[in-house]
Amino acid sequence: MRVARRLESFEYAIREIKAVASELERKGKRIYNFSIGDPPAYGFTTPEHIKAAIKKAISEDYNFYIDSLGDPELRELVAKKESQKAKSTFTSDDVLITSGVSEGIFFADAALVEPNDEILIPGPSYPPFSSYVKFFGGRPVEYALDSSQEWQPDPDEIRKLITNRTRAIVIISPNNPTGAMYSKKNLQAIINIAGEHDIPVISDEIYEKFVYEGSFISTASLSKDVPVIIFCGFSKTYRMTGLRLGYIAYHDQEGKLEEMKEAIKKMARIRLCANAPAQKGAIAALTGPQDHIDKMISELLVRRDYCCDLLEDIPQIQCHKSKGAFYLFPKIKYQGRWKNDKEFALDLLNKTGVLVVYGSGFGEHGKDHFRMVFLPPMDEIKAGLERLSSFFKQGK
């Protein structure tokens, strides 16, 4: 049977290498999982008050199709949250609840991208940002994040990459996979460039609370007349990954996105609604205790520093400390042992059981790197990194 060509270029390295690990695990191999950004999978369980709200919603039969744009109370709360972040005004009409940020990316690209259109994305970046552009016949264009400059973008390069086919500039800060946070200067420069070309900025802020050095900077807080399309959600901060709940928030002071918003509303209606009971959980997340967030960040800071210290002792690895999110993105010195980062990651997995994601899975600028999370418990981190260190020593 013929398969549509739009799926030929679809790749998702994070899940693809996990499938290899799962097969090894079925055969009895011990796997040390540093691959996926899923806090609940590593013991950071969903807070009890959130689970209680979801259970209550289910038991009270809040299991039907709800408003396609999202629970009205939740949209009001998100609007309030984004207003506080940006020191601006959002209303519930500026908010659409999605089935995770991934659906938000799909919706935005569906509304923006015609065949041969271009979206500027950071390189390296989260794979769906390139995959969905390709799905709609467009071309993702990478602007480099410079590892020698703590993975900061170069606004001058971004300006040079813009053509008459460019439809938006994507910002991911804190960044997946590098853990970098864009400086205020660079954020402002990108917004200004977007304004010069009358295109919106897309700002992925799912890791807004995961900041270890400095402070989170809201992209919308720096923009007066340039539209900012914000992606955020509940998966990471509130440990609700499997419940699949995110949102789009539009910062659009001059109403330039009205046609786009209406188009996305139509798509939201076609897919009916996001998870209804989970939205009650999200209401509890935003209105309930927040102390669990600081506790998790404190624990992750210890794990980050431990991982970085050990990785820096491996001569074949160069690693920058991440300032946000929960990823490290070390560079590999192959020394003739491997042809590329994918071969390295598969060799590491097969010989040691240590599961990381090859950097080229995050785009052209991810080559010669690998991504690892520092979410596992400390005993798991120590055991896995000891095997990683021994793996490199064996090749001397």
CA distance 84 to 90: 9
What is residue 106's predicted lDDT score, i.e. its pLDDT? Answer: 96
The amino acid occupying position 225 is: D
Walk me through the domains of the chain, giving residue ranges and CATH numbers. 5-45+291-393 (3.90.1150.10), 48-287 (3.40.640.10)
**pLDDT > 80? residue 143:** yes
pLDDT at 396 over 60: no
Q: Strands 370-373, 327-328: parallel, antiparallel or unpaired by DSSP?
A: antiparallel
Higher pLDDT, 264 or 20: 264
Q: Are 395 and 335 in contact (CB under 8 A)?
A: yes
Cα 209 from chain centroid (whole Å): 13
Evaluate whether 125 touches 260 at the Cβ level (below 8 Å). Answer: no
Length of the chain: 396
Strand partners, 120: 141, 169
Reported pTM: 0.94
Which H or E run includes 331?
A: strand 331-332
pLDDT tens profile 203-213:
999 999 999 98
Instruction: Kindly indicate the confidence band of residue 395, based on its pLDDT and cuts at 50, 70 and 90.
Output: low
